[in-house]
Amino acid sequence: MGKLVLVPTPVGNLQDVTLRALETLREATTIYAEDTRVTRKLLNHYEIQKQLIPFHAHNEHKQLERTLQTIRENEITVLVSDAGTPGISDPGFLVVRACIENNLDVTCLPGATAFVPALVASGFPCDRFVFEGFLPHKKGRQTKWKSFVDEDRTIILYESPHRLVKALEEIATFLGPDRIVCVAREISKFFEEFKRGTATEVLEHFKKTPPKGEIVLLIKGT
């Protein structure tokens, strides 16, 4: 009986990968990847030649039973996301849940997760925080914002660059224009940026300078 190993991959600089992660990637029989093109760049950088199979938001239910069968047959099957720890705001949790339901061994290596360095470097309290991932695009979005009004913990969100301005506008509307926020962008990459200030100040900055790259949006608690 094989096992599934979740392997965190760098959120930015390729040198952020751990030695244990590289060893596991080399030992794996099969690697399931969110985007095989992204993972191939990492493997090529470290001269690792492995079979890559896509497992992403558009095929997870169709692929799930086949994935379980692969895990049963192989000694080590690896699951990676494009960046960070698999299962955090991506369909990897479906594989983990299915493995547990089918009595298959699952382990997750410690490693990169984008919101941790963003939180620590934001300057906001780190002792208590709430991670909400990506907010709903439409239904339930306003309700979610309103639930943050009296939240005294640091709030952590993932956001895409083309929706960041909208999110900052909504923070100013629902939580107040003077609510303190931090936008952490391109963590561990050459153009890494932390923009801190009131919702209004940060909003004006990104209206003038359209954001690019991966974004973590942090909101200071009340």
What order do you get walking across the sheet with 154-159 strand by strand? 129-134, 154-159, 215-219, 180-185, 193-198
Segment 52-82, tens digit of pLDDT? 999 876 666 678 888 999 999 999 999 999 9
Closest CA to 141 of 159, 162, 167: 167
Which pLDDT score, from 0 to 100, does residue 56 have? 73
Residue 60's pLDDT is what?
Answer: 64
- DSSP character at residue 135: P
What φ, ψ does residue 80 adopt, rounded to 5°? -130, 155
The pLDDT assigned to 58 comes to 65
Q: Which two tokens stand for residue 170?
A: 């909504």
Is 140 in contact with 47 (CB distance < 8 Å)?
no
Question: Which domains are seen in the chain, by residue range?
Answer: 3-108 (3.40.1010.10), 115-219 (3.30.950.10)
pLDDT at 89: 81
φ, ψ of residue 38 to 5 degrees: the values are -65, -45
pLDDT of 40 reads: 97
Beta strands 215-219 and 180-185, pairing class: antiparallel
Write out the chain's pLDDT in tens, 222 residues.
789 999 999 999 999 999 999 999 999 999 999 999 999 999 999 999 998 999 876 666 678 888 999 999 999 999 999 999 998 888 788 899 999 999 999 999 999 999 999 999 999 999 999 999 999 988 999 999 999 999 999 999 999 999 999 999 999 999 999 999 999 999 999 999 999 999 999 999 999 999 999 999 999 999
How far is the C-alpha of 69 from the C-alpha of 31, rounded, in Å?
Answer: 14
